[in-house]
Amino acid sequence: MRYWLMKSEPSEFSIDDLQRVGTEPWDGVRNYQVRNMFRDEFKVGDRALFYHSNCQEIGVVGEMVVTSEAYPDPTQFDPHDTHYDPKSDPANPRWLLVEVSFVAKYPRVVTLSELRSDKRFADLALVRKGNRLSVLPLSKTHFQTIRQLSKIK
């Protein structure tokens, strides 16, 4: 089993939204590195941290589980969708997504500044300079340490 961190702007889609709907297709990803991770590395049963970006309290807010293999993101073919990609060929779709399901909302946010100031996260991709990927791999140790910091029972 692998561990991931997945970013979302809560004004677009938040941990509360995921808790309400239960399962969500993680659509709209338009980055080849992430597309390749979805295709080659994501497996059903993998765990992922839900991260709120571009908001008041930036940080890790909960946990999810991967509940589908990668498959074509339908929003790339929808001219009315903001993620529409006219260059993507339906016979050979350019963009993929995976589905994720709600596992837990943390009782407190494990903030970005907290992760930055903790030496245990020195090699966490999220806090490394210049890393802007919206989906990042994570070690089991980092996953478990963040879980402990969240104070979840």
What element of type H or E holds 142? helix 140-149
Stretch that binds DNA, among 39-47, 98-106, 110-118, 143-151 (CB under 7 A): 110-118
Is 14 a binding residue for DNA by CB under 7 A? The answer is: no
Q: Which is nearer to DNA, 80 or 153 (CB)?
A: 80
**C-beta of 120: minimal distance to DNA in Å?**
18
Binding string, residues 66-105; x marks residues near DNA by CB under 7 A: ---------------------x------------------
Q: Which of these ranges, 16-24, 31-39, 117-125, 140-148, lies near DNA under the rule CB under 7 A?
A: 31-39
> Based on CB atoms, which residue is closest to DNA, 23 or 131?
131
Alpha-carbon distance 99 to 21, whole Å?
12
Q: Which residue, among 66, 143, 68, 55, has the nearest Cα to 106 in the 3D structure? A: 143
Beta strands in the chain (DSSP E): 3-8, 23-25, 47-52, 59-66, 71-72, 96-97, 99-111, 135-138
Which residue carries 């907290």 as its tokens? Answer: 114
Q: How far is the CB of 144 from DNA (least distance, A)?
A: 21
How many Å separate Cα 52 from the centre of its chain? 9
Task: Indicate which single residue of 1, 17, 23, 32 sits in contact with DNA (rule: CB under 7 A).
Answer: 32
For the chain, what is the largest distance between any 2 Cα atoms, rounded to a whole number of angstroms? Answer: 47
Chain residues in the site for DNA (CB under 7 A): 7, 30-33, 53-54, 58, 87, 112-113, 116, 129-134
